[in-house]
Amino acid sequence: MALAALLAGEPLELLLEHDFALALIDVQMPGMNGFELAELMRGAARTRSIPIIFVTADGPDQARVFKGYEAGAVDFLFKPLSAHVVRSKVRVFVELYQQRQILKQQLEALQKSEEAARNALEVRNRFISIAGHELRTPLTVLRLQLSMAKRKLGNHFTLPGVAEGAQLLDQLERQVERLVPLVDEMLDVARIQSGKLEIRPERFDMTALIKDVLERFLPLLDEAGCEASIDCPDGAVGSWDRFRIEQVISNLLSNAARHGGGAVHVHLRCEPDAVELRVSDQGPGISPEDRQRIFQPFERIDAERGQAGLGLGLHIVRQIVEMHGGSIDVESAPGSGATFVVRLPWEPVKAGD
Domain ranges in the chain are 3-81, 124-194, 202-345
Architecture per CATH, domain 124-194, reads as: Orthogonal Bundle (1.10)
Q: Which residues pair with 229 in a beta bridge?
A: 265
| Contact present, 3 and 39 (Cβ < 8 Å) | no
As a whole number of angstroms, the distance between CA 220 and CA 214 comes to 10
Task: Kindly state which CATH superfamily the domain 202-345 is placed in.
Answer: Histidine kinase-like ATPase, C-terminal domain (3.30.565.10)
3-state SS class at 212: helix
Q: What is the pLDDT along the chain (353 residues), one digit of tens a residue?
A: 444 454 444 566 677 777 788 888 888 777 778 888 888 888 787 888 888 888 887 766 677 777 777 777 888 888 888 888 888 888 888 888 888 888 989 999 988 888 888 777 777 777 776 776 677 777 777 778 887 877 777 666 555 666 677 777 778 877 777 777 777 777 787 788 777 788 999 999 999 999 999 998 888 888 888 888 999 988 899 999 999 999 999 989 988 888 766 789 999 999 989 999 999 998 888 888 888 788 887 766 554 444 555 678 888 899 999 999 999 999 987 888 899 999 999 887 654 55
Q: Count other C-beta atoms under 10 Å from residue 141's C-beta.
A: 10
Beta strand extents in 132-241 (DSSP E only):
202-205, 226-231, 237-240
For the segment 45-90, what is each residue's pLDDT rounded down to a tens digit? 788 888 888 888 776 667 777 777 777 788 888 888 888 888 888 8
- Residue 60, preceding peptide bond in cis (omega within 30° of 0): no
Following DSSP, what letter does each residue of 36-98 receive, concatenated? HHHHHHHHSTTTTTS-EEEEESS---HHHHHHHHHTTEEEEEESSPPHHHHHHHHHHHHHHHH
pTM of this structure = 0.57
For the segment 169-194, what is each residue's pLDDT rounded down to a tens digit? 778 877 777 777 777 777 787 788 77
Backbone φ and ψ of 204, nearest 5°:
-155, 165
As a whole number of angstroms, the distance between CA 317 and CA 111 comes to 32
Long-range contacts from 10-18, C-beta under 8 angstroms, 24+ separation: 11/37, 12/37, 12/40, 12/41, 12/44, 12/47, 15/41, 15/44, 15/46, 15/47, 15/50, 16/44, 16/46, 16/47
SS3 percent helix, strand, coil of the chain, rounded to 5, is: 55, 20, 30
Q: What is the CATH number of domain 3-81?
A: 3.40.50.2300
Following DSSP, what letter does each residue of 275-290 receive, concatenated? EEEEEEE-SS---GGG
